[in-house]
Amino acid sequence: MSSLAVLLIAIPLIAAFVSILSKKVAPYLLLIASLINVILLFYFVPDGIVVIGGYDLPYGINLFVDTFSRTGLGVVNVLFLVIVLLNIVEFKKYSSVLLVALAGLNGLLLTGDLFNLFVFLEISGIAAYLITTSNHKPLATFRYLIIGAVGSSLYLFGLIIFYGMFGTLNLMDMVSFIQANNVDPSALVLPAMLMFIGLGVEAKLLPFNSWVKGVLKDSNTLSGPMIAAVYAATISFVFGRIINNLLTLAFVGNLLIVVLVLLAVGIFIAEAMAFASTKVREILLYSSIAQASIVILLFVNGIVLWAVYLIIANALSKTVMFLVINKATKDHGDDESDSLQGVFSKNILVGITFSVATLSVMGLPLFMGFVVKLNYLTELAVGAQWALLAVILISSIIEGIYFVRMLIKLWYPEKNEVTVKFDLGFKVVFVAIALILLALGTYTAPLNTLDNSIDTIAEVIDNG
Amino acid sequence: MIQYAAIILIVFGLYGLLSNRNIIKMIISLNIIEIGLNIFIISVGFVYDGIAPILTSTNSSSALLYVDPLPQALVLTAIVIGVGTTALGLALAKKIYSKYGTFELDEMGDNE
């Protein structure tokens, strides 16, 4: 039974192959595979380590299912299914690509082998490039491909240096070897930084994120939420796992300061760019970059639990925000905030759900974002990280100003009337996500059931 | 020594990517990075006087000195992935050419 986790990767991959044979059944295969994955994940896949091909650890590839990966899988698979359901009619021809993407994303979240992770990074990356071709901006997609390929090459470079040093590709084996032999952190600096930069490209960290603007500023209802919510959440989980276990062994002393300064500057610049933008999608994409940097900053500081909740809150909010704005832009033809002025005056329900998502990202009380922000700020204060605390608080003020300014524009009509029609499916999703954000913001007990030991790799290593 | 050659290739590739404004040349630069990386991976598993890691009727003893087979397997996978990325890059290059009529980034005007 424990090997059922393999199906989370195998089913979409097999379905992807079959879907190429018949274009007609491809959309149905996509829906069925995504649905089976969600059912498998919530009802059948148990926690544990799955050894692939009968090769004992650390020689064989292994899949690692614990609360951390299960949380990631839950968020990613459910949001994937929702986004697919909303777009299946319009983007039928992307079914095979989406199946490959699902296999790649699940593989990324499950694998415990660092080279296998590179393979899934490339599989999901190639699927992501193809998803962004739906924007009909081939030059932006090409830039994404080049930067993404260089990023994964750097990750592979770092990984091979680690292999040359320790003779293993298994994450747990490598970490336990480094700990057992008290390896000097300075010896780990080069491969750790190469891996950090490589994953930083996909995680949208400044200054490795020049692809994001081209891809998301012309996104649609498929590519926008898929890249900004599903892919962003997956990469954040994977990056978190690697930082939390492997890279923190190298991030000590001056290198830690360099990484923290890089992330803090990233947050500031992204918020400033969002503040200076007038196009709604640009505001959202720069806000995503800032939030991604905050997540990685929390992982580097060992605040795992609240980083995970921040990923979830962001993924939920960004799904609603990108879906609303991309649908409005598609119907209206422009995403300038002046041009979309008053779009919510005729779509009050959608306006309310969009506002809930925005206020949650801002971290206002009553919404999930507030609980998460309060807790991670408290943890930073407990750790006496005053400079980082100040960075996040100041960036929150900037964020508050541009989001409120944007909301006011979108709510109050001026001259031209903006008419956008949202289907019932969209509305149901918006309301459901808004209710989740509201429920977890007011009733916080479910968030307190887990603690920082959610990532159990260290525990497994301790127990041999 | 061969690792220096691999790193020089990677640096050449990066230089090519940063200095070229032609899409095809950028794809070639990306390939040079990948080739450099593949040579680096192979070099990690290299053992002086080691033989190919294949058990045959003449080389069947585990006491013999073999080179590390794992990096070779990794390179095979990396090559396949590299080919996939290059193919996709070329497909996009074709799309870009049909849209702008040129491979030069500077001549495309509309900078997306």
Reduced to 3 states (helix: H, G, I; strand: E, B; else coil), residue A50 is strand
Whether residue A364 is contained in a domain is answered as: yes
Give the pLDDT score at A353: 94
* Parent domain of A338: 255-464
Does the CB of A370 have a partner CB in chain B at under 8 Å?
A: no
Distance of alpha carbon A11 from alpha carbon A6, whole angstroms: 8
Task: Kindly state the helix (H) or strand (E) to which residue B35 belongs, with its residue range.
Answer: helix B23-44
At residue B55, what is the residue type? L
pLDDT in tens, A365-412: 889 999 999 999 999 999 988 999 999 999 999 999 999 999 998 888
Under 8 Å between Cβ of A243 and A299:
yes
A153:B85 CB<8 A: no
Inspect the interface and report whether the beta carbons of A160 and B74 lie closer than 8 Å.
yes
Residue burial A235-253, b: 16+ Cβ < 10 Å; e: rest: bbbbbbbbbbbbbbebbee
The total number of residues shown for chain A amounts to 464
Q: Give the tens place of pLDDT for each residue, A57-103.
A: 788 888 999 889 999 999 999 999 999 999 988 888 999 999 999 99
Give the helix/strand (H/E) hosting A90: none
Orientation of helix A232-245 relative to helix A171-180, angle to 10°: 30
Instruction: Determine the Cα–Cα distance for residues A136 and A334; give it in Å rounded to an integer.
Output: 16
User: For residue A140, what is the nearest residue in chain B, using CA coordinates?
Assistant: B112
Work out the minimum CA distance from A324 to partner chain B, whole angstroms.
Answer: 22
Domains of chain B, earliest start first: 2-53+62-107 (1.10.287.3510)
Domain count, chain A: 1
Contact A126 B44 (CB under 8 A): no
The pLDDT assigned to B112 comes to 52
Stretch B84-110: mean pLDDT? 89
Residue A406 within a domain = yes
- pLDDT single digits (tens) A201-244: 988 888 888 888 888 888 888 999 999 999 999 999 999 999 98
Cα B105 to its chain centre, rounded Å, is: 24
Determine, yes or no, domain membership for A324. Answer: yes
Q: Which of B11, B40, B81, B107 to mutate to test the interface with A (most CBs of A within 10 A)?
A: B81
Q: Residue for token digits 């709510």?
A: A411
pLDDT digits (tens, 9 = 90+) for A148-196: 999 999 999 999 999 999 989 999 999 999 988 888 989 999 999 999 9
Q: From CA A344, how far away is CA A324, in angstroms rounded?
A: 10
**Domain for residue A379, yes or no?**
yes
Statement: residue A440 has pLDDT above 60: yes
Distance CA A281, CA A449 (A): 35
- Does any domain span residue A275? yes
- Name every chain B residue with its beta carbon within 8 A of the beta carbon of A130: 88
CB contact under 8 A, A153 and B33: yes
Q: Extract the tokens encoding A292.
A: 């991604």
A179 domain-assigned: no
Residue A74 within any structural domain of the chain: no
The B-side interface with A (CB below 8 A) comprises 10, 14, 17, 23, 26, 30, 33-34, 37, 40-41, 44, 70-71, 74, 77-78, 81, 84-85, 88-89, 92-93, 95-96, 99-100, 105, 108, 111-112
Touching B: A residues 112-141, CB under 8 Å: 115, 119, 122, 126, 129-130, 133, 137-141
Task: Flag whether pLDDT at B58 surpasses 90.
Answer: no
pTM of the model as a whole: 0.94
CA A206 to chain centre: 15
Tell whether A358 is covered by a domain.
yes
